[in-house]
Structures are given as C-alpha cells and as structure tokens.
Amino acid sequence: MDIIADLQLHSRFSRACSKSIDLENLEKYARIKGLNLLTTGDFQHPIWNKEIKKNLGEDENGVLWSKTKFPFIWGTEISLMYSDNGRRAVHLLLFSPNGEVSDQIIDVLGRRGRLDYDGRPIFGMSCPEFVEIMKEVSEKTEIIPAHCMTSFFGVFGSKSGFDSLKDCFKDKVSKIHAIESGMSADPSMLWRLQEKVNIVSFSDAHSYWPFRLGREATVFDFDKLSYDNFISTVRTGDGLKKTIEVFPEYGKYHIDGHRNCNFFCDYKESKKLNKICPKCNKELTIGVEYRIEELAKENKGYIPKDSKEFVKIIPLQELIAAVYDIKQLNSKKVLEIYNSLIKEFGNEFNVLLNADEEKLRKIVHEKLVKLILLNRNGELKIKPGYDGVYGQISLDEKGKVKVQKSLGEF
C-alpha cells in the first residue's frame, strides 16, 4: 500500500512556528493534504512529549495512532553547532523505534543540554559523536541530514556545511543511509553528488496549513505500516516509491543574493562577482544552485541506475493566490476555491496530481485549470528564491483572473 509521509515538522514549541500547532490540527490538515503518515516532531520537548503520550496510542509496530486512526512515528529535528575546520551548523532528523527508546534518547540528550527552551534543541557535539551516542541507545534509531543543501544548516550548505557526507560523519558515515532534499534542491541535482544514499523529501512545516504541511513528501510502498518497514526502506531503498518535491526555484535558498540589498543572481553571475554583493561589497549568501556546481561529480542530466521517480508541484493555495493575484494564502477567496476543489476531489494531492481536466473546468476558472496542469507537468515559471526569500510563481496579466465580488463571477 502507498504511504504518503511527511516526516519533518515541528510543534508549537519550536522557534518561528505557529502557536496553534497541536496534534489535532496536524491530523486534520494532513488528511486534507492527502498525507497518511506524519512524524510527531519535537518528541524530546517535555510538554509536547506529554501531549503525544496523552493523545496517541502506540501499537506493537512502533506506530502511534490518534483516536481517529491516523498514524504517527516518533521523530524530531536536532541542531548541532560545533567547530571542525571552521564553524559547522547541521540539522539532523532523528527517528526512534518506540516510546521506550524515545524516553532513553530524552534521558541521554537531557544530560547534554536543555530540552525545554526550543522544540529543535541545539547541542555542541559533532555529527559523528551524535550518531555514536544515538546508536548506543538503539541501532534502530535513524539519522537523516535535513534540507541537506540549505545554505546555513544543510550538511552541504555553503555557509557552514561540508563537501561530502564522509567529511561530515567521518567513520560513522556508513550509518547514514539517506539525505533529505529540502525545498531548494531536487533529486536530479543531488544525483550529481554521487553520494550513494537514498533521497527522501519532507516539508519542514512550521505550521499545519496545507501550503506548508506536505509541500514535500515521500511515497513509501509498505505491505504493513511499521517502524521496521520504514527504516528498512530508508536504508535499502526497497519500497521507496517516489518523492513529491516543490520546484527547487521555490525554495528560499536556491540562487545567490542578499535580501537586504534586494540583489540576486545565478551562479554564473556570482562567479563573475567573486561571490561579492555589488551593492554592499559583502559576501553573498550562496545558494543551492551554486553549491551543487561546486560539489558535483556528474554533469547535468546524470541519472543513476537506482534512481527513484519524483514529481515537482507547488501547493494548491499558492496556485489559486497567483491566478487571482491575492497576497494572503488563507484569504476568504482563496479558501473558498480551495475548499470547493477539496470537496470534489477528496484531498489536495488528488487535485494537483490526478484530477480530471474536464471535471476541474466545471468547478474553477479556465486559467486556474491551466495553472494546475502546468504545475502537474513541471512547466511552471518560478522567480527563484534567495537568501531566505521564497520563490514566486511568475504569471503575466493574461494568466491572472480579475477578482469579482463573488468568485462565481469569472
């Protein structure tokens, strides 16, 4: 059976996250999105951990279930900041096989630092040390570098990352079986690094809204939902069916630039500028595109034999807002159209990936239908993101709909 999973998200106790995040809202909007597996996120945070144990029941397979039968697995994100031939800052996803092991992890991490101040705690230990400590707790713990190319906290990031997994994890590199692509990169870019690990994709959601939750996801093919099947798939690739990605240009660190200077450019121009901003004469924030070119061992277009399928789509509310030239993704008008599509097709992934073209035309404006199909076919034009600024869908006035008092008036 296909399991569409988002296994990187946060609780309301993580920095820069919605204060309305709770397990009920995560489940509600995961169902609307079309997801059928989440991680708990932030399981080491003491208050969030109590909520997990109060509201979810664990089965013999290490899967946590809500009262309305929605599954979660134990997971969190850890920030490591330390010195290793320079300042390093790496975010790692950590998964645990069950509540007992999760409690042991909490005990071990609690002796290394505080766990109550942030759902994504920071530790001064190195990546190899962290892997060693977690594997001592249980060999079934799984560690995956998060948003692996992101400039500031990716394992390959331009600001504080490494040039290879071996450089980062040293003698523990054999314990790393997968990397998470992040929004500013996709598998076709990561294949060029020749790292010989599997690629997964998750949202790093800081709220429960479906334009954040599940904006990236991984499709697993399990005969039974269990933690053991999850780690077996991550480690071997068997059962890893495909990933759902956003267009890399949509990510906040795809190309180079300076947000404060309102300057951005592609990697070729950055090379000419020696990575220096022409407005302030300081070093540019070098994005994923440039970093891939620095590290690539293969040319563009390289596809490994064991590659997995992936699709690129932008969230539905983004499409609606672009067509109607509305800035607020949760505006009344955007939600009215969004909800009409969900009512007809069941969930957002069905709308974006499967909905019949003629059925779409009966519900929404032709220009939105065209944008959904362009999105589905990977043909959207995106103004690339840079230095913490999201990319934007690029439409001329012909692609937009004039907003009327009633959305029924096209």
Q: What is the pLDDT along the chain (410 residues), one digit of tens a residue?
A: 899 999 999 999 999 999 999 999 999 999 999 999 999 999 999 999 999 999 999 999 999 999 999 999 999 999 999 999 999 999 999 999 999 999 999 999 999 999 999 999 999 999 999 999 999 999 999 999 999 999 999 999 999 999 999 999 999 999 999 999 999 999 999 999 999 999 999 999 999 999 999 999 999 999 999 999 999 999 999 999 999 999 999 999 999 999 999 999 999 999 999 999 999 999 999 999 999 999 999 999 999 999 999 999 999 999 999 999 999 999 999 999 999 999 999 999 999 999 999 999 999 999 999 999 999 999 999 999 999 999 999 998 888 887 654 444 33
Give CA separation, 71 vs 135, 218, 303, in Å.
25, 15, 34
Question: Helix H segments across 285-331?
Answer: 288-295, 316-323
The token duo for 338 is 């969004």
The confidence score (pLDDT) of residue 399 equals: 85
Q: Which residues are bridge partners to 82 per DSSP?
A: 88
The confidence score (pLDDT) of residue 7 equals: 98
Q: Which CATH superfamily is domain 2-250 in?
A: Metal-dependent hydrolases (3.20.20.140)
**Whole-model pTM?**
0.95
Parallel, antiparallel, or unpaired: how do β-strands 392-393 and 382-383 relate?
antiparallel
The confidence score (pLDDT) of residue 404 equals: 56
Question: Which helix (H) or strand (E) segment is 52 a member of?
Answer: helix 46-55
DSSP one-letter code for 385: P
The rounded distance, in Å, linking the Cα atoms of 200 and 21 is 24
Which residue's entry shows tokens 């220096």?
276
The rounded distance, in Å, linking the Cα atoms of 277 and 259 is 11
The confidence score (pLDDT) of residue 174 equals: 98
- Using a 10 angstrom Cβ sphere, with 0-12 exposed, 13-18 middle and 19 or more buried, the burial of residue 84 is middle
Which positions ≥6 away from 192 have C-beta within 8 Å?
Answer: 292, 295, 296, 297, 298, 299, 300, 302
**300 contacts 286 by C-beta, under 8 angstroms:** no
The confidence score (pLDDT) of residue 403 equals: 60
- Using a 10 angstrom Cβ sphere, with 0-12 exposed, 13-18 middle and 19 or more buried, the burial of residue 201 is buried
The confidence score (pLDDT) of residue 402 equals: 74
The rounded distance, in Å, linking the Cα atoms of 3 and 189 is 25
Give CA separation, 319 vs 324, 371, 394, in Å.
9, 7, 10
Domain(s) of CATH 3.20.20.140: residues in the chain: 2-250
Q: How many residues does the chain have?
A: 410
